[in-house]
Amino acid sequence: MSRIQLLDSRLANQIAAGEVVERPASVVKELLENALDAGARQLNLDVEQGGVKLIRVRDDGAGIEKSDLPLALSRHATSKISSLEDLEAIGSLGFRGEALAAISSVSRLTMTSATAGNAEAWQVQVEGRDMAPVLQPAAHPQGTTVEMRDLFFNTPARRRFLRKEKTEFGHLEEVFRRIALSEFDTGFRLTHNQKVIHQLPAAATEAQRAQRVARLCGSAFVDQSIRVDIERAGLRLHGWLGLPTFSRSQADLQYFFVNGRVIRDKVVSHAVRQAYRDVLYHGRHPAYVLFFELDPAQVDVNVHPTKHEVRFREQRMVHDFLFRTLHRAIADMRPGQAAEIGGEAEHAAGYEGGAEYVAGASSVVGAPGVNFSAMPQTQDGLQLDAPTIAGVSESSFSRDQSGDRPVGGYASFAPSGGAYGAGVAPMPESGDVPPLGFAIAQLHGIFILSENREGLVLVDMHAAHERITYERLKVSWDSDKVRSQPLLVPHSMAVSTREADFAEQQPEVFEKLGFRLDRAGPESLIVREVPALLRDAGAESLVRDVLSDLVAHGSSDRIEAVLHELLSTMACHGSVRANRRLTIPEMNGLLRDMEATERSGQCNHGRPTWTQMTLKELDKLFLRGR
């Protein structure tokens, strides 16, 4: 008797179900994706008992012909690909032809469908592959309804691994949320135990799309995010990018879609982390809903049975595009007018939300170069006066004929006799008002109080000046480039053959980072030069980390990260300290520098540097208008 046997179709399908159908949420994902591939513009999802008892998906798509209904339940049967060329450039969400076969092998499945122009619909039923599909006529409008009952009824061992109803529905709702975010042109409805949970109409306009994101991710996310839309060299990235101050303790609000498919990818994750590195508080996670579009031939989605992972053919190009786009978007998050990164300002009627920022402003406007060896210090920290901060003196501001009101938007303070703003002129009734307004007082030597059109602005002066100083140090360092310093005693280190080959074949990559490496053997390198500022940072560990990043991602930011950490420490020690009394010109100079400095909304450690209290919020505090 042969020891090798062909598996029967029922057993093969149940093995496949172990990969495809993990829990009710897996069934929902497959059925919703099939409906979207069929061109559905309205999707209704009804579930009971967390999806274990019932999952019903109804769509208004193209439908399935009578002759194709039984075939649709067969394994590896699909209408979405027919050749190897189709597999190399997949444009649909599903393509394997395993989902319906796997689901029907572990449940009681009924599928009813009607196509356009046909007067009657047809229905096919199957129960756990124990009986052949039963085909019969039915009543149904154009589209398809797939009804799954009693998941894992014939595999009790797998059913015991399911969690409580609330837990299973939580996973199912998360899948629904991801798919509803991926297809704005389709309306969605979700009910659980006959109770409507989500009712989402089709979103055709930008305002309606923002409303859907607000419903699914929370209005706070939309209010504290910016719109990004950048297209370059056949790559497009658009969506909502959360402000660094809207960080979360877990990575539970991160949605990244590649050609409409939600994915998890290490290249994407690394690019996003790298973009947020300089502004995020330690241990926090960014929030975003981003859509990445590229030629389907440039991405392989056939690398995992659940299609959650992809592989980019040009990983380095994708990584660089994502990092540079997000890094620039985050850098441009500063107080200013409402605009879109990569586009014009757009506030659609009927919806208000989104952060205010300026797109495309220069790095540090008017920021003088910083001399590392000669940073002026006082007992309180960095020497801080009006010319130092703002680059101008009080005498350079023009005034109207009365002599007590400044002319122009950025020169709006009067001569002051003290730090608390004696003699401060009122905010001009006309003319430009800077986003952070005009300083009126200092509180406890820590906070600057400023008045703008919206109301009151509170600024943490040390955190704000720390960011300004840090950004200037980075600009100065970048202009000087990375300088190398030879080691008195070259350092020998053991590496893998692959890493040694990489270092030998691409020496220019390390030279650009300030290193000089020579190969000493099949698995050894000699470090002869290191970046001058990092000579005491541990050459071997730095080289190992850089090699690891280069081999895995094609790029490395380790050197930059360590350099920035050092510059951040210098900026912290060189910034104005608490209890330092500032004059009104000094405070206004600090506000103007904040408006011109990249990432000025957060200090070097990710904490916010300023906050706005509107007149409505102030009225609410004192019960005004009631």
* DSSP, res 364: B
Greater confidence (86 vs 469) lies with: 469
Query: Which residues are 343's β-sheet partners?
Result: 340
Distance CA 121, CA 515 (A): 71
Q: Is the pLDDT of residue 582 over 60?
A: yes
Token representation of residue 429: 């009734």
Compute the residue count for the chain: 626
Q: Is the pLDDT of residue 378 over 70?
A: no
Q: Quick check: 192 and 209 in contact, CB under 8 A?
A: no
The answer to which of 74-88, 293-307, 489-503, 571-585 has the lowest mean pLDDT is 74-88
Report pLDDT for 68: 86
Distance CA 277, CA 266 (A): 16
The answer to which of 27-31, 185-189, 529-533 has the lowest mean pLDDT is 529-533
> What is the average per-residue pLDDT within 205-213?
95
Distance CA 308, CA 325 (A): 24
Burial of 174 (0-12, 13-18, 19+ CB in 10 A): middle
Greater confidence (539 vs 178) lies with: 178
Report pLDDT for 581: 86
Token representation of residue 258: 């590649």
Report pLDDT for 533: 63
Report pLDDT for 98: 74
With pLDDT > 90 as the criterion, what percentage of the chain qualifies? 36
Distance CA 591, CA 59 (A): 55
> What is the average per-residue pLDDT within 607-626?
89
Greater confidence (579 vs 237) lies with: 237
Confidence tier at 40 by pLDDT (50, 70, 90): very high
Report pLDDT for 409: 32
The answer to which of 149-158, 175-184, 507-516, 609-618 has the lowest mean pLDDT is 507-516
Distance CA 39, CA 408 (A): 56
> What is the average per-residue pLDDT within 130-137?
78
Q: Quick check: 87 and 61 in contact, CB under 8 A?
A: no
Greater confidence (81 vs 507) lies with: 507
Of 127, 98, 96, give the one whose Cα is nearest residue 111.
127
> What is the average per-residue pLDDT within 16-39?
87
Most confident of 67-76, 152-161, 206-215, 533-542: 206-215
Report pLDDT for 99: 80
Q: Is the pLDDT of residue 195 over 70?
A: yes
* DSSP, res 255: E
Token representation of residue 531: 């970046």
> What is the average per-residue pLDDT within 133-148?
92
Confidence tier at 473 by pLDDT (50, 70, 90): confident
pLDDT tens sequence across 407-420: 333 333 333 333 33
Q: Is the pLDDT of residue 197 over 50?
A: yes
Report pLDDT for 408: 32
Q: Is the pLDDT of residue 131 over 90?
A: no
Distance CA 247, CA 270 (A): 17
Host H or E run for residue 143: strand 143-149
Residue located via tokens 């497959």: 30
Q: What SS3 class is residue 229?
A: strand
The answer to which of 145-149, 327-331, 427-431, 570-574 has the lowest mean pLDDT is 427-431
Burial of 309 (0-12, 13-18, 19+ CB in 10 A): middle
Greater confidence (199 vs 131) lies with: 199
Token representation of residue 498: 């692959």
The answer to which of 177-191, 295-309, 442-456 has the lowest mean pLDDT is 295-309
Query: Which residues are 248's β-sheet partners?
Result: 285
**Mean model confidence pLDDT for the chain:** 78
Residue 237 has a CB neighbour count (10 Å cut-off) of: 23
With pLDDT > 70 as the criterion, what percentage of the chain qualifies? 71
Distance CA 148, CA 32 (A): 13
> What is the average per-residue pLDDT within 105-116?
92
For the chain, what is the radius of gyration of the CA atoms? Answer: 30
pLDDT tens sequence across 326-336: 999 988 877 75
Q: Is the pLDDT of residue 405 over 50?
A: no
Confidence tier at 471 by pLDDT (50, 70, 90): confident
Report pLDDT for 123: 94
Domains of the chain: 9-200 (3.30.565.10), 206-331 (3.30.230.10), 402-463+572-621 (3.30.1540.20)
Greater confidence (238 vs 392) lies with: 238
Residue type for 571, please?
A
Host H or E run for residue 377: strand 377-378
Confidence tier at 553 by pLDDT (50, 70, 90): low
pLDDT tens sequence across 50-81: 999 999 999 999 999 888 888 888 776 776 66
The answer to which of 244-258, 434-448, 555-569 has the lowest mean pLDDT is 555-569
**C-alpha distances in Å from residue 441, one per residue of 143, 398, 593:** 66, 22, 18
Q: Name residues whose C-beta falls within 8 Å of residue 164's C-beta, 6 or more positions apart in sequence.
A: 50
Confidence tier at 424 by pLDDT (50, 70, 90): low
Distance CA 133, CA 129 (A): 8
Burial of 241 (0-12, 13-18, 19+ CB in 10 A): buried
The answer to which of 97-111, 222-236, 243-257 has the lowest mean pLDDT is 97-111
Distance CA 299, CA 313 (A): 6
> What is the average per-residue pLDDT within 264-278?
88
CA angle 141, 143, 145 (to 5 degrees): 95
Confidence tier at 490 by pLDDT (50, 70, 90): confident
pLDDT tens sequence across 317-367: 999 999 999 999 988 877 754 334 444 333 333 333 333 332 333 222 223
